[in-house]
Structure 1
Amino acid sequence: MSTSFEKALTAIDAAHALDPTPHTLPDGTTLPYELHYAQKCTAYLEKHTPTASEHLRLAIRAQHFRRWEVPRASYPLTRPGYHAWRTFLKKRQASLTHDLCLASGCTSETAERVGALIRKEDLNSDEETQILEDVACLVFLDDQLDAFDRSHDEDKIVGILRKTWGKMSSRGHALALEISMGDRAREVVGMALGSA
């Protein structure tokens, strides 16, 4: 691994560590949520594509960079408001990470590529952007589905799961089917995939 990569990764994690939202792990220890999220993303990238490039590894680690600073409630609680929030976040996270990469000694080409991946440019034709999308979907299914299910009605959950599945590659699908889920999560996933 290059020195600039290691510096950038350390700086990304240092920013994640500032997230004031705690996350409790199964062993009872806590850590900032965005640091937990980033570590989960990296773990799924290792399963999905263990030979991933340094720029993809940085983009995966930083895709929620300083996200807590722009809460969902800062935009209207409507569907257009949600999409506007997500669009703003992608651009902001890409820009901040681009600058962090440059400050860490990465080349401008690397910094630009990391930013493009975080913005999910060329999702339908760029293999690395698809990998990032797969990883985000896998972390959602593994780490966020239970909480999401508790706060939304069944029809909405099933619809979101169908959309999530549609965003993923065949490699993503295979890894998703390996996720250990509780009975309720498995039930709604089965409904979304038409097997329940």
Structure 2
Amino acid sequence: MSTSDKLQLAFERFDALNQADPNTEVFEGKSYPKEVLYAQRMTKQLNSFAPKASEALKLTARCQHICRWEIPRDSYDMNREGYLRWRQALKKFHSEKAASVLSEVGYSEEIISKVSFLLEKKQLKKNEETQTLEDVICLVFLEHYFEPFAAKHPEEKTIDILQKTWRKMSDKGHKSALALYLSNDALNLISKAISA
């Protein structure tokens, strides 16, 4: 099986698992399982931001939230400690789910280990591919999820989230973020956050 065939098959397997997401999102008049749409947005953003991305990074972007609904946020205490424990559990869960699919598709242990490494966000700011993944995650958040988030929260919390997001990004990520097509309200909040 060629590399491109294997990659496409893995994408199809990831998307098939995410089709079971009970949460939906309407985009451009069509309803999608939430994590299917998120995965497609991740792939699209990676292709734009890093068109020469490795196969491992392409796989990771596609499965970054695989079956996320199976471990809901409220299954952990609704405080900072609970949030961090939830995030750690998700990283391990996504890594195991992805490894199972990649093994079935016929990927090598080397690729599977690399995808796990990236899913667990190891060496952020030190490893180029981990940083690229984080930039893409942040760009997808800013482009598609930030404005609905801002509408539900006070400005102070929104700016705090933006500052945390900004700190995780590279200079290249910052430039791409400022080039996104966003509303004036969103751009004003970003401006406040990065100038504070």
Q: Do residues 150 (structure 1) and 151 (structure 2) align?
A: yes
SS for the counterpart of 2:115 is helix
Residue 155 of structure 1, CA deviation: 0.9
Work out the percentage of aligned pairs sharing the same amino acid. Answer: 38
Residue 70 of structure 1, CA deviation: 0.9
Residue 174 of structure 1, CA deviation: 1.2
Q: Which runs of 4+ in 1 moved over 3 A?
A: none
| Aligned positions, number | 194
Q: After superposition, what is the alpha-carbon deviation per residue over 1:83-130, rounded to whole angstroms, capped at 9, x for unaligned?
A: 111111011101110121011100011111111100011112110000
CA contact 1:5–1:106 (8 Å) conserved in 2 = no
Query: In structure 2, what is the Cα distance between the partners aligned to 1:81 and 1:184?
Result: 32
Structure 1's unaligned 5+ residue stretches are none
The one-letter code of the counterpart of 1:52 is A
In the alignment, what sits opposite 1:12? Answer: 14
Residue 183 of structure 1, CA deviation: 2.4
Q: After superposition, what is the alpha-carbon deviation per residue over 1:153-194, rounded to whole angstroms, capped at 9, x for unaligned?
A: 111111110111111011111110111112221221111011
In the alignment, what sits opposite 2:27? Answer: 25
SS for the counterpart of 1:24 is strand
Query: In structure 2, what is the Cα distance between the partners aligned to 1:81 and 1:152?
Result: 20
TM-score when normalising by structure 1: 0.95
TM-score when normalising by structure 2: 0.95
Query: In structure 2, what is the Cα distance between the partners aligned to 1:30 and 1:144?
Result: 16
Structure 2's unaligned 5+ residue stretches are none
1:59-138 maps to which residues of 2 (within 5 A)? Answer: 59-138=60-139
> What RMSD over aligned residues (CA atoms) do the two structures have, in Å?
1.2
Q: After superposition, what is the alpha-carbon deviation per residue over 1:134-168, rounded to whole angstroms, capped at 9, x for unaligned?
A: 01100110111112112221111111101111110
In the alignment, what sits opposite 2:50? Answer: 49
